[in-house]
Every structure is written in structure tokens, then in C-alpha cells.
Amino acid sequence: MQKVVSISLNGIAYQLEEPGYNQLRSYLERAESRLKDSPDRTEVMNDLEQAIGEKCARVLGPHKTVVNEAEVARIIEEMGPVESAEEKAAGAGAAPEGAPEQESAYVGPQPRKRLFNIREGAMWAGVCNGIAAYINVDVTWVRIAFALITIFSWGGMILVYIALAFIVPTAETAEDRAAAFGMPFNTEELIGRAKKNFEKFGSDYRWRREWRRQQRHWNRQWHQMSEQVRQATAQAAPQMGTTARAIMSIFLPIAAIVGAVLFVVWILAMLSLVTQHTVFGWGLPHGMPLWVGLLVLVLVYFAISAPLKAIRHGGREAAGSHPGWGALHGLMWMGFTVLFFWLAYTFFPGVRELVDQLMWAADLTVSNISETITFGSWD
């Protein structure tokens, strides 16, 4: 059983199987985009529709009322790719019967709008850029969302990013870039593309091996350092039972305050870097791309907060391991974070400006998304 779509071609109704309809729609959309600079666009489109209609009529009869997918594919092939006559006049030297890859692009359902990675102006693979185009919001917001989710998922989002970089196709032509979303791509296509991209990535074997080696090295160093700090703290505060507990009850709030201050300053620094391209008024060194600046901020934050965390854990061990300490610290940290955000907002005009700017843009983003949804839904 096939779903049938009724269409009107130049005033005459035809019934097409749904996959065929999708093919035809994308063919006509492509034709229209090819002709977008031609003054004859409307006329040529009408001519094409009529020609397609006549070809449809030819396969229909009193006992056949629906044009099937294969027939639509054949009709599209017969019609051939639409070339603007203006391009021809400019002397594009392509063979009329050539351009095989162009031809194949017409076959198979080509969604009108779909998700792409957009490399132009991208920080990494253009995933955020593509999503921004897809939901019609400024890329900054997608990046902030990605950054926040990355923080709260303890880096898990980075895996999602990498997966998207491989799975989502990269917009290579202007037409691709013009597209945003539409039908979901099918699973087979998705897996195939991910495999292909991964192979391409994996073929650079030396680079990969080198990267892995470097990563292992960093990991080892990092663990060694954390472990040393933790042990040192545990030893510095020898098993003193109640005394240690007393020290902890003073130390823990301090640790929470320091941690919260660090976190708030870090988040505000990231925000100001993303929105104003400066960290609290200090511009990035000349020639440093934004993403390097963000990366440096992330590294600096972890470089400062990790030893603190190690000290805290060491102290906790000395005071006798108790899960209550961790929960207590978490609560205090959260409370202080909220407090410091509020203080910063109230007493620093720069911060208020930043937040207001954020709110304003968030408003815009929400209205953009709802607009996209309203306009997208009747297609």
C-alpha cells in the first residue's frame, strides 16, 4: 500500500505515489532555484509543469489513476536537469548530456530543507552553525547552549558534537546551505555517511595515533598530579578525628565560596568572550581565533579548580570519609553560585548589561523558533 498525493500541475490534478511526489517536488524546487536569476522563471516553471503533466497523462488510463514512483523517476529523467539559458550564454563549458552527479542528485527524495554542517564561519566542524541555520537563531546561542550542556554533562556533549560532525552532511554547495530542515534522513543513509566520514578520518592514521599517544600522556600526568595533591592534603591533616572534623567544617564553606566565585567568574568570562569578543574588556591577543580563547578559558578553569577539588577530597578523607560532606559542599556551592551571580548582576553594570543583552537575544530566539515552527508546519 502506498500513500498517494494529489497535486496540480498547471491547473490539472494528478495523483502521485508519495515517494514520487517527493522526487518531483525536489526536482521543481531545484529547477526554481536554478532559474532564480532568470526573468522568465514563472513562465519556464509553468512550461515545465505542463510538460510533466503531459508525461503523467501519458502513463495514466481509465484503469490506472496513479503515477507510481518509478514512472515519476523516469519522467524526471526525461525532463533533464533545468539549465538557465543565461548561464549558457555566459559560456559554461559543461556538456549538456554530461554532469552525471548532477543528474543523480535528482533521483531519490531530496528534502527541501535539512540539517547540514556549515563550515563557513565555523569554530570546529560547523555543527553549531548548521543547527543555528536549522532553527533560525544566531549561532552564538547554539554555542552557549552547547557549552552549558557540555559543562553539565561533564563533557558528554563533546561526544554528541563529534557524532554530529560525522553524521550530519556538510553543506558543500550554495543550494545545500540554502536548505535547513525537512524530512528526516533515513537510517541507511545516515549510517552509510557516518561510516564513510569515519573512514576518511581514520585514513589519516599517523595523525590519529599521535593524538591518542598525546592524550594518554596528558591523562597520566593529570591523574598523577591530582593524586599527589590529594595524598599530601590527607597526610597534612593526620587522623585527628574531631579536630579534623572541626577544620573541615571551616574549610568546606571556604572551598565552596572559592569554587563558586571561580565558577561565576568563569561563566561570565565565557559569556563576555562569546558575546563581546573580550574577557571583561581585555581583547584576545591579535590573531587568536575565538575558539582558542574559549578553549584557553576552559583549560584555565579546570587547571585552577582541579587542585582545589583534590585538596577538598584529601581533607574529607582525613576527616573520615562521609558522603554527607560531598552533598553539603554541593549545596553550599550551589547557594554561593546563585548568590554571586545575583551580586554580580546587582553591583556590576557590565554584568547587568551582559545579562540583559542575553535576555533580549533569548526573547528574539524564542520568537524566531516559534516563527519557524508556525511557518514550517503547513508545508
Partner 1 sequence: MNISEKLAPIRKGLLEFVILKIVAGDKVYVADMLKLLGPTEFATQEGTLYPLLSKLRREELVDYEWQESEAGPPRKYYKLTQKGRTQLSTLNDYWKDLNRTLAEFGN
Of 95 and 250, CB closest to partner 1? 95
- Quick one: which of 344, 153, 149, 154 has its CA closest to 264? 344
Q: How far apart, in Å, are the Cα atoms of 294 and each of 51, 61, 118, 164, 284?
A: 56, 65, 20, 21, 10
| By the rule CB under 8 A, 86 interacts with partner 1 | yes
| By the rule CB under 8 A, 38 interacts with partner 1 | yes
CA angle 270, 275, 280 (to 5 degrees): 55
Out of 63, 90, 97, 347, name the contact with partner 1 by CB under 8 A.
Answer: 97
Neighbours of 373 (CB within 10 A): 11
Residue 179 backbone phi and psi in degrees, to 5: -85, 150
In the bound complex, what is the minimum distance in angstroms from residue 107's beta carbon to partner 1? 14
Q: What is the DSSP letter of 137?
A: S
| By the rule CB under 8 A, 204 interacts with partner 1 | no
Residue 5 backbone phi and psi in degrees, to 5: -115, 130
How far is Cα 376 from Cα 112, in angstroms, rounded to an integer? Answer: 11
The answer to whether residues 52 and 79 touch, using CB atoms and an 8 Å cutoff, is: yes
Of 17 and 49, CB closest to partner 1? 49
In the bound complex, what is the minimum distance in angstroms from residue 366's beta carbon to partner 1? 43
Out of 7, 16, 31, 133, name the contact with partner 1 by CB under 8 A.
Answer: 31
Neighbours of 99 (CB within 10 A): 14
- Quick one: which of 287, 291, 285, 278 has its CA closest to 143? 291
- Quick one: which of 86, 79, 72, 165 has its CA closest to 118? 165
| By the rule CB under 8 A, 39 interacts with partner 1 | yes
In the bound complex, what is the minimum distance in angstroms from residue 58's beta carbon to partner 1? 9
Out of 1, 90, 95, 174, name the contact with partner 1 by CB under 8 A.
Answer: 95
Of 13 and 174, CB closest to partner 1? 13
Of 51 and 361, CB closest to partner 1? 51
| By the rule CB under 8 A, 323 interacts with partner 1 | no
In the bound complex, what is the minimum distance in angstroms from residue 33's beta carbon to partner 1? 13
Residue 132 backbone phi and psi in degrees, to 5: -60, -45
In the bound complex, what is the minimum distance in angstroms from residue 102's beta carbon to partner 1? 11
User: Is residue 179 packed enough to be buried (19+ CB in 10 Å), middle (13-18) or exposed (0-12)?
Assistant: buried
Of 18 and 40, CB closest to partner 1? 40
The answer to whether residues 181 and 113 touch, using CB atoms and an 8 Å cutoff, is: yes
| By the rule CB under 8 A, 91 interacts with partner 1 | yes
- Give DSSP secondary structure letters for 346-357: HH-HHHHHHHHH
Out of 7, 16, 24, 35, name the contact with partner 1 by CB under 8 A.
Answer: 35
H-run or E-run covering 29: helix 18-34
| By the rule CB under 8 A, 174 interacts with partner 1 | no
| By the rule CB under 8 A, 28 interacts with partner 1 | no
User: How far is CA 39 from its chain centroid?
Assistant: 37
Of 16 and 35, CB closest to partner 1? 35
Out of 18, 37, 43, 189, name the contact with partner 1 by CB under 8 A.
Answer: 43
| By the rule CB under 8 A, 172 interacts with partner 1 | no
Site string for partner 1, 63-82 (x = CB under 8 A): ---------------xxxxx
Out of 7, 16, 24, 48, name the contact with partner 1 by CB under 8 A.
Answer: 48
Instruction: Give the total of residues touching partner 1 (CB under 8 A).
Output: 35
Q: Which residues of 266-275 are buried (b: 16+ CB within 10 A; e: fewer)?
A: bbbbbbbbbe
Site string for partner 1, 5-24 (x = CB under 8 A): -----xxx------------
Residues at the site binding partner 1, with contacts judged by CB under 8 A: 10-12, 31, 35, 38-40, 43-44, 47-48, 50-51, 53-54, 57, 78-86, 88-89, 91, 93-98
